Amino acid sequence: MQLRNQVEWALHCCSVLAGLPAGRYLSTKVLAELHGVPKEYLSKALQGLSQAGLVESTLGPSGGYRLAKTPGQITFLDIVEAVEGKTSSFVCDNIRYNNPCLRKGYRADGACAIAQVMWDADQAWRDKLRSVSLADLGKTLRKTVPADILDKTQGWVLERS
Amino acid sequence: MQLRNQVEWALHCCSVLAGLPAGRYLSTKVLAELHGVPKEYLSKALQGLSQAGLVESTLGPSGGYRLAKTPGQITFLDIVEAVEGKTSSFVCDNIRYNNPCLRKGYRADGACAIAQVMWDADQAWRDKLRSVSLADLGKTLRKTVPADILDKTQGWVLERS
DNA sequence: CTTAATAAGGATATTTAATATCCTTAAGGA
DNA sequence: TCCTTAAGGATATTAAATATCCTTATTAAG
Ligand code: FES
Ligand code: FES
């Protein structure tokens, strides 16, 4: 079980967009170059973010993407779900109903107790992701990444936004 | 991102084995029939459980599998990891190092802050799975599944163990 | 001792999902 | 008018999940 590589891409792109001055857009081309990933494929991830309402886009020269909300309003969960979808990682095929002791067509009242545990764990994962916003991430980055790298990168991005 | 169907199979098989009287074995064939899944493929999952030390097997007629520990000593996490492996669901390809502002070969001190959040969430998922044992599951099942179904199934299993 | 049943595991096929590229269209700015 | 861009459909490529088949060694039952 593994998340798509687009999740890493989307998170990093949002992190960059969160540092962009108001009104500026950043194009797929620039984001792809910054992260060293294929532009056309990254575009699919960005379209997912756009459909989820996390970013907004504009066309034409100097077009691209910007956040549609403040960094404090966008969580890791929002971004992960925009790329991966909201369905649980555990899928219950109800193999319990294949039990030959049951009459055919029998259906229980509630969910299988095993599935319930798995779904609770999935929820714990989502809760954790929901607890961190892009604003939180920005704070951490400013604490842990050398200032000169942040500055140089910010300059590089601004030249292209 | 989705867990394999074998996870559901393995959890249900362990649940059945947990209800087996001491000394009895249950064969792949019986477990496959009980759950309505392909015997040869289920066998791979059971081999995983065996290699993880959760179950032990014996050959020959009346052979099969039984738990290698008490139900209280086996957690959902043990079973899930035996089938899915222990690697995190989030893989960081360190796309941050593709940043053209960095000198080639630059490596940071710690992990990327984004990866860290994803790994923390993965850990929260595992913590939740670790908090539920087969003994806990048994208690829940006895509370939620009609007694006659449990009894009939138990009889069906014992005839074949 | 012989025989049938079984787990283990290697090899391979099939199906599905992830990854990636290509191309067309419509919109926006110079 | 021309160039740049996002959106999205179509398709190709690659990897992983799912499934089957077959061989071997081991064990218990007859
Ligand atoms: S039937 Fe799906 S987890 Fe129990
Ligand atoms: S470089 Fe992998 S998550 Fe940041």
Average pLDDT over residues B67-86: 98
Residue B126 DSSP code: H
* pLDDT value of residue B20: 96
**Residue B21 CB burial class (10 angstroms; 0-12, 13-18, ≥19):** exposed
Q: Mean of the pLDDT values across residues B57-75? A: 96
Q: What's the whole-number average pLDDT of chain A?
A: 97
Protein residues with Cβ atoms closer than 7 angstroms to any atom of nucleic acid strand D: A 1-2, 27-29, 40, 43, 46-47, 50-51, 57-65; B 2, 4-6, 37-38, 40-41, 44, 58-63
> Which 3 state secondary structure label does DSSP give B115?
helix
Instruction: Please count the other Cβ atoms lying within 10 Å of the Cβ belonging to residue B36.
Output: 15
- pLDDT tens-place string over residues A101-135: 999 899 999 999 999 999 999 999 999 999 999 99
Q: State pLDDT tens for residues B7-40.
A: 999 999 999 999 999 999 999 999 999 999 999 9
Confidence at residue B129, expressed as pLDDT on a 0 to 100 scale: 98
Residue numbers of B between 32 and 91 with CB closer than 8 Å to A: 33-37, 76, 84, 87, 89-91
Say what percent of chain B tops pLDDT 90.
Answer: 97
Nearest CA owner, ligand 1 atom 3: A115
Backbone phi and psi for residue B111, each to the nearest 5 degrees, phi listed first: -70, 160
| CA–CA gap between residue A15 and residue A12 (Å, rounded) | 5
Helices (H), chain B: 5-18, 28-35, 39-51, 76-84, 113-130, 134-144, 147-159
What is the pLDDT averaged over residues A149-155? 97
Query: What pLDDT was estimated at residue A7?
Result: 98
Q: Which pair of structure tokens corresponds to residue A82? A: 């925009």
How many CB atoms are closer than 10 A to CB B120?
17
* Chain segment A13-35, per-residue pLDDT in tens: 999 999 999 999 999 999 999 99
pLDDT at A28: 98
Set of chain A residues whose Cβ sits within 8 Å of the Cβ of B35 = 95-96, 98-99
pTM for this predicted structure: 0.95
d(CA A42, CA A55): 14
DSSP-H helix ranges across chain A: 5-18, 28-35, 39-51, 76-84, 113-130, 134-144, 147-159
Give the model's pLDDT for residue A44.
98
Q: How far is the CA of A113 from the centre of ligand 1 (A)?
A: 7
